[in-house]
Amino acid sequence: MDNERLTLAVICTVIAVLLVSFPSTSKHVYAQSSRGGICGPMDVTFAVDDTASMGPAINNVKSELPNIISTANSASGGDLRLGLMTFKDKVNVIHKLTISVPLVQASIGAISASSGGNLPEASDIAKDTAINNLNGFDEPWRGSAVKILILITDAPPGGLNDAKDPADVARMHNVAVNALSKNILVSDVFVPTGGDYDGQRAILQDDASTSGGVFTETAANGVGTGAAISEIIKNCGKPTETVCNPDNVQHWDKIVFKINSTELAKRVNLTAGTELDIKVLDNPKEVADIKKKVLDFLGVPSAKRETIQIIDVEYAIICAKLPATHPPTTGISALMSAEQKKSSIAEALRLQGGNVTVGSNTTAK
Ligand SMILES: [Ca+2]
């Protein structure tokens, strides 16, 4: 990657966010960067109405399943857990949250739509099951993950008695409030196979807007159901207007290092043996050569690699205010105190609507 230094004006377009985007430093040595997806770790649970009328929509999901899984792997950087339940007038938990993505994929492929009795279905109980880890769905959602429940149905809620009562509608709303408090985004995919015959559109819209998720309506024949799911996952479960334009997504490394050579330190006007850090824009599609980045940055690309010791590498994925026309680098800075970092990260997350991924590297690539 070209690490040429650029003017302060260019740097300023992103520096305000960048400087506060890194978490406290852990003192592990990593040779290379690992990469999260734009959403970071993800826990995604599907609650699928598998009554007879949902057959075409379920078939649409099956045909789109490879895209859905690929999107989820990409958005999560491979740090993905899936859960699955189906419902008619009761809830059938098939997979609690698991890293065994192929198993969940196979189970979705095996869903068979049938029966359903009266028109309401137990979508409210399915949601309660997922959000509150009930009925055997007892693997907790990860605090650190983007948490998404995708509810797919054509029906109003009916509790467990196959009749839509005010209590069922209230439960839908109250569990959405629960979801909000647990930072679980509920997205509702409404398949209007029989139209909006009992106010279910508004109930599902309330569900999504209350929890901060997305409401999507497909075609009556189920076309668009799989695409809606992919879109929800791609956007980290949030409405698109709060999601970063892909052109503005930037991957950065903060490289903490020491200069071992007194002679080199003197050449670049820095102090040997002191912890220093630089922040450089990175290309996630390339394997990073961290020492080379440091030497290039210092303007001594031909210096010996052993003159530099890498202490830590952290990454941040940010939504910049403007697309980067050049790969800017930022200057050498003193390390912030842990307290400074803590408040700075909170501020960064607030500024970016939570759409910032930060972390220390955990694997070499
Ligand atoms: Ca029913």
Distance 153 CA to ligand 1 centre (A): 11
Q: HSE on the CB side for 330, CA within 13 Å? A: 23
Q: Can you list the domains of the chain with their CATH numbers? A: 8-38+244-360 (no CATH), 42-242 (3.40.50.410)
pLDDT of the residue at 73: 96
Pairing outcome for strands 91-98 and 80-87: antiparallel
Distance 126 CA to ligand 1 centre (A): 13
Assess contact for 59 and 65: CB atoms under 8 A: no
DSSP-based three-state secondary structure for 321: coil
Q: Which residue has the tokens 């993505």?
A: 101
pLDDT for residue 231 is more than 60: yes
pLDDT of the residue at 325: 56
CB crowding 281-308: b at 16 or more within 10 Å, else e: bbebeeebebbebbbbbbebeebeeebb
pLDDT of the residue at 329: 61
Question: 355 has which bridge partners?
Answer: none
pLDDT of the residue at 289: 85
320-349 per-position pLDDT tens digit? 766 655 555 666 654 444 444 444 444 444
Distance 51 CA to ligand 1 centre (A): 8
Distance 155 CA to ligand 1 centre (A): 8
Distance 88 CA to ligand 1 centre (A): 6
Assess contact for 293 and 332: CB atoms under 8 A: no
pLDDT of the residue at 255: 87
pTM comes to 0.62
Residue 316's pLDDT band, with cuts at 50, 70 and 90, is confident
Beta strand residue intervals within the chain, DSSP E: 42-49, 80-87, 91-98, 146-153, 184-190, 215-217, 249-259, 276-282, 308-319, 329-333, 357-360
Distance 161 CA to ligand 1 centre (A): 8
Q: Once rounded to an integer, what is the mean pLDDT over residues 39-44?
A: 95
Residue-by-residue DSSP string for 75-138: HHTT-EEEEEEEESSSEEEEEEEES-HHHHHHHHHT------SSS-BTHHHHHHHHHTT-TT--
